[in-house]
Amino acid sequence: MRVKVAECAALFWDDGRLVWDDYLRQRQYALTAGSETVLRWFARWRELETARELGDGSLEIAERLVDAGALIVEGSPEHEGEERVGLGWGRWGAAARHFHFSVRTPASARFVSHGDDVIHMREQSREHPAPAIAKTYPDRDVVPVGLADAADWRRHGLLETLHHRRSVRRFTSDPVSVAEVGTILQLAGGIVDSLPDNGAGAAVFKTSPSAGAWHAVELYLEARDVEGLAPGVYHFAPTRGGLEDLGRGVLGEAARETLGGQAWLADAPALLIYTAVIDRAQWRYGAGRAYRDVLIGLGHLSQTVLLTATAMGLGAVFATAVCDEELERHIGCDAAGEVVLGVAALGRPAEG
């Protein structure tokens, strides 16, 4: 019987222990030094009995690793399953398949009731208070923004707006106004309603849905040519009703490279930068699967921005092919707790 180390797995250190993470089956084992040696021995297909060459007890360790799924038997269902996953996910690499399968809900999962979930959050809040519902820079000056009169918008019907939404990558040299940008930010990121905190954290409602009503996504504005705003970087603070001036200049010559060489992003009069505050989502949902909810929430919010811009007669385009690290440095957020997710350019669409 030939065996080989399973490839749909990962290793990580946890409190001094080397852990084998079988993400396909969502099982984890701490490895002993002997187990690690055996796994390295079976980096390629070998007869199981060859483990004896490693010394006393090594065959028994190998047999336990087969039972645990860390070693797979050639031609077995586990082997065939790994090959299918490798073919299906190969071009995206090991990290992508690791993320997906490690947070995939297995058939054995059991979901808690709403009542039990509330009890858990109340107990959690006694030791770990809920994070703020929105980020703010209270020491920064704020530029109030409101809602522009919708009577002046180019499109008023939902169907018309949906049918005319396009990714616009050519803009005129005309500026956009702070009233227009502010309207988009208020409609997409503003708070429209909330429920009292019942001890399990506040529930905040916006025009776009978010898992648990926790809205991990934050909005930043890089204003390059916005009437009513000095060029610079601003943070939209829904609890303060405006844009907080972060005192940072625009990207300038670094814009094209930072924004993936995309001129329509680098040259647009306004750029929205979407981030996510990890603690806000993590406090509400402890499982890693919640990272999916953060990305889904970004999609909801982004569509609201794009449709609002379309209704107003502005052009917009969303992109993720940007340098996250440079943008995080640019707006001043720490990737350990707040990460860049994508950007959107806003401007007046050019003809043709």
Asked if 2-102 and 133-347 have one fold, the answer is no
Rounded to 5 degrees, what are φ and ψ at 280?
A: -65, -40
Instruction: State pTM to two decimals.
Output: 0.91
List CB contacts of 308: < 8 A, sequence separation 6 or more: 183, 184, 187, 188
Q: Give the residue from 285, 182, 292, 195 showing the smallest Cα distance to 238.
A: 182
The pLDDT value given to residue 116: 84
Rounded mean pLDDT of 82-101?
A: 92
Q: Give the residue from 313, 317, 344, 311 showing the smallest Cα distance to 217.
A: 344
In angstroms, the Cα distances linking 241 to 81, 147, 191, 336 are 53, 11, 9, 27
The pLDDT value given to residue 234: 98
Is the model's pLDDT at 314 over the cut of 90? yes
The pLDDT value given to residue 107: 84
What are the structure tokens assigned to 265, written together?
A: 């992003």
- 202-250 residue pLDDT tens: 789 999 999 888 899 999 999 999 999 999 999 999 999 999 999 999 9
Topology (CATH level 3) of domain 133-347: NADH Oxidase (3.40.109)
Instruction: Tell me how far apart the alpha carbons of residues 28 and 33 are, in angstroms, rounded to a whole number.
Output: 16
Band (pLDDT 50/70/90 cuts) for residue 117 is confident
Domain boundaries, the chain: 2-102, 133-347
Q: What percent of the chain has pLDDT over 70?
A: 100
Class in CATH terms, 2-102:
alpha beta
Instruction: Tell me how far apart the alpha carbons of residues 206 and 68 are, in angstroms, rounded to a whole number.
Output: 46
Rounded mean pLDDT of 266-291?
A: 93
Band (pLDDT 50/70/90 cuts) for residue 295 is very high
If DSSP codes are grouped into helix, strand and coil, which group holds residue 222? strand
The pLDDT value given to residue 352: 57
Is the model's pLDDT at 329 over the cut of 60? yes
Is the model's pLDDT at 185 over the cut of 90? yes
Band (pLDDT 50/70/90 cuts) for residue 111 is confident
Q: Could you count the other beta carbons within 10 Å of the beta carbon of residue 157? A: 9
In angstroms, the Cα distances linking 118 to 73, 254, 281, 287 are 45, 47, 15, 16
| CB 83 within 8 Å of CB 8 | no
Across 49-53, 133-137, 240-244, 281-285, least confident range: 281-285
The pLDDT value given to residue 287: 87
